[in-house]
Amino acid sequence: MDTRRITAMAEATRLTREGRLAEATALIQRTLARPAATAHLPQTPSATERTDGTPAPSPGFPPPAPRDGIGLRRFPARWIRRRALPGRVTGPGLAPPSTPRPGPPAAGRPATGFGAHSYSNAAGTRAYRLYVPGRYAGRPVPLVVMLHGGTQDAAAFAAATGMNDLAERKTFLVAYPEQPRSANPGRFWNWFAPEHQRRGDGEPSLIAGITRQVMDNYQVDADRVYVAGFSAGGAMAAVMAAVYPDLYAAAGVHSGLAYAAAGNLPAALAAMRKGASGRARPAAQPVPLIVFHGDRDATVSPANAAGLIDQALAAGTAGDQALAAGTAGRQGAVRPAPVTQDGQVPGGHAYTRTCYQDTAGATLAENWTIHQGGHDWSGGVPHESYTDPRGPDASAELIRFFDEHPASRSQSARR
């Protein structure tokens, strides 16, 4: 870290100790902020891939999400609705907190488009954007909750990830909760504060409330509700998976940190620089997890990806403890052996994909390391904030992973 950053972080620590959290956060935001990545050519199929554009999978891997010959993402047929596109209707405006929530859209004319909404509870109010695809026709569809990074807002994050385009093609809803400057001057989710790491409190309660409000107002498949995020949003997605495992069937973290990796701002800064100081605290219930991280990320250390994977595996193997105790004595549950696949985006980044499975063969976690990648959304839309089009397509891989991991019926019954 250069002298300027060291000085700034020392000053932020002093401000925090004096209780001047807003000033400390603003200083961190100014220090860490940097312009978006420059535009690069969009990726094209590699010569080492099969002729249909799909990389040849390694043993134990489901195939990565393919792309067609003109750069458009392709998806499993069971997610595609082959109905005529209904006419678009402008989404509802931002309702004040006192306004009752609207009822479900009429079955004949569901509201579609990118609408603005809000949700309130005892912890406060959060605005959010909701994308409803044109093919939505009032039948149960998946829901993906996307948490933006610092300095971003919902619209910028939607544009950067291209997730609305995916939703239109695959017919699922996307909700984008938005952190206001009043809660954090840099619009960072406060993932490092204990009051925002608990079920039913703070920002987790607001994000869960937004999720449930969408489920109440639209026809959502309760077994296919997911959460993902980038940077501070990725760290908050890890919190949501840990404290609401009954609500989300799987989670995705891009350039983020593990649940409870820090309990205050100085610890958060240290974890961002070099990873959490202690072993990640396992969640009470396993939630399948996919992780993306650039190995040249200078904002959030790549060591945090390992912490996320360790946490997911600790939760996932906890259920095997009784069996392991009867078969392996004091050794306890055995960490799943990784299955690794290397790939290359033509003209872009190489990557390593590592998959971890439990004893029954179910995937507990999947880790994507983008070689030479920085603090950017891999495969993101050119010219948008914090994107690197040279990387593998994180958005498509998120949806492919989510498609492979619906919740069990017993889990969704507890929501």
How confident is the model over 294-345, as pLDDT tens digits? Answer: 999 999 999 999 999 999 998 766 544 433 444 343 344 567 789 999 999 9
Give which of 304, 309, 396 is closest to 357, Cα–Cα: 309
Question: Is pLDDT at 185 greater than 50 in this prediction?
Answer: yes
| d(C-alpha 74, C-alpha 80), whole Å | 10
- Of residues 234 and 326, more confidence is placed in 234
Q: Is the pLDDT of residue 393 over 90?
A: yes
308 within 8 A of 257, measured Cβ to Cβ: yes
The dihedrals phi and psi of 317, each to the nearest 5 degrees, come to -90, -5
Task: State yes or no: pLDDT of 196 exceeds 70.
Answer: yes
41-318+333-412: CATH topology: Rossmann fold (3.40.50)
387 alpha carbon, distance to own chain's centre: 15
117 contacts: CB under 8 Å, gap ≥ 6: 92, 94, 95, 127, 128, 129, 130, 213
Residues 6+ apart with CB under 8 A from 276: 257, 258, 261, 262, 304, 307
Other Cβ atoms closer than 10 A to 371: 15
Domain boundaries, given as residue ranges, for the chain:
1-33, 41-318+333-412
Higher pLDDT, 199 or 324: 199
pLDDT for res 267: 95
> 261 and 276 in contact (C-beta within 8 Å)?
yes
19: phi > 0 → left, psi -120 to 50 → alpha, else beta; which?
left
Residue-averaged pLDDT of the chain: 78
Whole-angstrom distance, CA of residue 183 vs CA of residue 270: 22
Query: Quick check: pTM over 0.85?
Result: no
Range list of β-strands (E), 8-156: 113-121, 124-132, 141-147
Strands, DSSP E only, in 133-207? 141-147, 173-177
Which is more confidently placed, 82 or 336?
A: 336
Q: Is 202 helix (H, G, I), strand (E, B) or coil?
A: helix
C-alpha pair distances (Å), 58 with each of 48, 53, 100: 13, 15, 51
* 8 or 367, greater pLDDT: 367
The phi-psi region of residue 379 (left if phi > 0; otherwise alpha if psi is between -120 and 50; otherwise beta) is left
Tell me what pLDDT residue 314 has: 87
Closest C-alpha among 275, 243, 296, 249 to residue 398: 249
**Cβ neighbours of 374 (radius 10 Å):** 18
Cα dist from 170 to 135, 163, 295, 398, whole Å: 9, 10, 31, 13
pLDDT at 9: 64
Grade residue 130 by pLDDT with cuts at 50, 70 and 90: very high
pLDDT at residue 56 greater than cutoff 70: no
Pick the more confident residue, 17 or 158.
158
